[in-house]
Every structure is written in structure tokens, then in C-alpha cells.
């Protein structure tokens, strides 16, 4: 399906919305997307101040892609109204249990767009899949609104909702990760993997990120800028992958033009699924290259 986002989403960096020093550091980081947080990392007494702090910080974020994570419940309205006019790309929406929750949030964004003179549909949504219900309804969540461009997995809230145990090998997360990637791709939405909780173990981060890419994830939530080089390495097609994709497409085109219909590369038939995969690799590489420029 057609990619909905004209920029890469390899890394989405959380940063507490009430901490000015962390916000400045995040703005200077190489993260593809910035997630100033108004929810879990902000003490209750600092919620209102965090909105003002993030709104002011947005003035230094020209050219950056920003999706504040809003609060659930009654605080969602002041969060959206305070930041919709500040140049954000959209919002990360927590605790999306089912599609109807996203649909209600979509209606709130329509109101914010009208009140701030924004183009209809300009504010996008990244729902957070954090509950057992959300995992089982992920495709429904992705299809609830055309504003949804990606979904991200929140593993800690999920494990708590499951009444499970977050084991060291991450086996408890294998099924939900696979279901989230499947549901998102079925809806034409980008799946984003969960944070890596062992923030100082970059070797384990690389193992997890490479595994996630194999599952179909296109990026990963990050908690610290030091994670970004590893995440980008794992979710960026390398030179060999790009060259191989180009060669595969060239051989397939040559076979089509010559009337053979079937091409062979490295002793294997190049069928339509392999051609599509090669096209996706080159498309992603081009998006990442444009971001670098």
C-alpha cells in the first residue's frame, strides 16, 4: 500500500515536556520524530506548565517533525488546544483501546483545525498500542481515521494490563509485536516498535531493533539520544540492500521487455513479491536520503 508519510520514522524520541534542558537537547538530536511528553513523564503539578513550555520550545523546532504525547481523559482538550496552533505535525494518542477512541480524537482535531485556521486533515495521529484490547483491535485502530499515519507499541503498559511478567528475553512481547506489525501493515500504516527499557545496553538494543525490522516494524521509540545511531543503523537499508534491490528491479524489467517474463537472480526466480520488496527498499532509502539532505 502507498506510504502515507513523506519522511522517515526510524526513531521517535520521547522527552519530558516540562524539562527545558531536555527539550533543547532533543531539538538538537538526530531523531526523525520528536515526542514531547505531556503524559507519564510529567508530574501532575507540572501538566499546565508543560503545555506552555512545549509551546515555547516549538519556536526552535522549525523543520522538525513533532508529535506531542497528550494526556488521556479531561486533560486531552487543553493539551490539543494549546499545541495545535504551534506548528506540530500531529499528536501521539495514548491508551487507544479501540477504533472508536481514535475516531473521537479525530473529531477533536477537526475542531482544533477550524479554530486555528489549519487545513482540514493536517493534524495527524500516532495511536499508542498499550493495552490487550488495543493489540487485538490494532487494524481497527489504524483504519479508524485517515489521520493515522503510524501506530506505536507501549510495552510496559501492555504487560501490566496483561497481568504478565516482562521477562529478560522479551518473550512476553513476541506475539503482540507480531500482531501490531501485521495489523498496521494491513491498514497501510507504519508500525513503530516499543522502547528499549535497558537504556544502557546498546548491544541488546541493536538485537531488538534488528529483530523488530524483521517483523515489519519501520522504526522504534527512543528514550535517550544515545540510542539514535543504533536505531538508525538497524532501520536504514544499507548499501548492499539498496544495490541488490536496484539489480533485482533491473533484471525484472529486462525480462519483461524481452518477453521472458521471469528473471533469475542468484539462482532464484524473481517473482512479483520480490519486486515489490525491492521497490519498498528503494522507496524507504530515498525517503531517508531526502531527510539527510
> For the chain, what percent of residues have pLDDT higher than 90?
81
pLDDT at res. 2 = 54
pLDDT at res. 102 = 98
The mean per-residue pLDDT over the stretch 88-107 comes to 97
pLDDT band at 3 (very low <50, low <70, confident <90, very high): low
User: Over 90: is that where the pLDDT of 263 sits?
Assistant: no
Distances (CA, A) of 155 to 56, 64, 129, 197, 199: 31, 26, 8, 9, 14
User: Over 70: is that where the pLDDT of 181 sits?
Assistant: yes
Domains of the chain, residue spans = 11-235, 239-292
Average of per-residue pLDDT values in the chain: 93
Domain 11-235, classified CATH 3.40.50.720, yes or no: no
CA distance 280 to 239: 15
The mean per-residue pLDDT over the stretch 98-113 comes to 97
User: What is the 3 state secondary structure string of the chain?
Assistant: CCCCCCCCCCEEEEEECCCHHHHHHHHCCCCCEEEEECCCCCCHHHHHHHHHHHHHHHHHCCCCEECCECCCHHHHHHHHHHHHHHCCCEEEECCCCCHHHHHHHHHHHHHHHHHCCCCCCCCEEEEEECCHHHHHCHHHHHCCCCCECEEEECHHHHHHHHCCCCCCCCHHHHHHHHHHHHHHHHCCCEEEECCCCCCCCHHHHHHHHHHHHHHCCCEEEECCHHHHHHHHHHHCCCHHHHHHHHHHHHHHHHHHHHCCCCEEECCEEECHHHHHHHHHHHHHHHHHHHHHC
Q: What is the pTM of this model?
A: 0.93
CA distance 248 to 178: 28
259: left (phi over 0), alpha (psi -120 to 50) or beta: left
Query: Which of 11-25, 77-91, 187-201, 246-260 shows the lowest mean pLDDT across its residues?
Result: 246-260
pLDDT at res. 227 = 97
Amino acid at each position: 500500500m502507498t506510504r502515507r508519510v513523506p519522511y522517515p520514522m526510524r526513531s521517535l524520541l520521547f522527552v519530558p515536556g516540562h524539562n527545558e534542558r531536555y527539550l533543547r537537547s532533543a531539538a538538537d538530536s538526530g531523531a526523525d520524530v520528536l515526542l514531547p511528553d505531556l503524559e507519564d513523564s510529567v508530574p501532575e503539578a507540572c501538566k499546565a506548565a508543560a503545555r506552555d513550555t512545549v509551546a515555547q520550545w516549538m519556536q526552535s523546532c522549525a523543520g522538525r517533525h513533532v508529535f506531542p504525547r497528550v494526556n488521556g481523559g479531561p486533560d486531552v482538550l487543553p493539551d490539543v488546544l494549546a499545541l495545535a496552533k504551534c506548528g506540530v505535525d500531529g499528536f501521539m494518542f495514548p491508551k487507544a483501546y479501540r477504533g472508536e477512541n481514535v475516531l473521537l480524537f479525530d473529531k477533536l482535531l477537526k475542531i482544533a483545525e477550524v479554530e486555528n485556521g489549519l487545513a482540514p486533515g493536517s493534524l495527524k495521529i500516532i495511536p499508542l498500542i498499550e493495552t490487550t484490547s488495543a493489540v487485538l483491535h490494532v487494524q481497527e485502530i489504524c483504519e479508524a481515521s485517515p489521520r493515522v499515519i503510524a501506530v506505536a507499541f507501549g510495552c510496559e503498559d501492555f504487560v501490566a494490563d496483561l497481568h504478565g511478567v516482562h521477562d529478560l528475553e522479551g518473550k512476553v512481547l513476541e506475539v503482540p509485536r507480531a500482531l501490531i506489525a501485521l495489523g498496521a501493515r494491513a491498514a497501510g500504516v507504519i508500525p513503530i516498535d516499543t522502547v528499549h527499557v535497558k537504556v544502557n545496553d546498546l548491544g541488546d538494543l541493536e538485537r531488538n531493533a534488528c529483530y523488530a525490522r524483521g517483523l515489519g516494524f519501520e522504526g522504534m521509540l527512543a528514550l535517550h539520544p544515545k540510542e539514535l545511531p543504533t536505531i538508525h543503523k538497524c532501520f536504514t537499508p544499507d548499501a548492499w540492500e539498496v544495490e541488490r534491490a536496484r539489480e533485482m528491479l533491473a533484471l525484472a524489467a529486462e525480462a519483461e521487455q524481452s518477453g521472458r517474463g521471469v528473471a533469475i537472480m542468484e539462482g532464484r526466480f524473481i517473482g512479483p513479491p520480490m519486486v515489490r520488496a525491492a521497490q519498498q527498499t528503494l522507496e524507504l532509502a530515498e525517503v531517508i536520503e531526502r531527510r539527510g539532505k
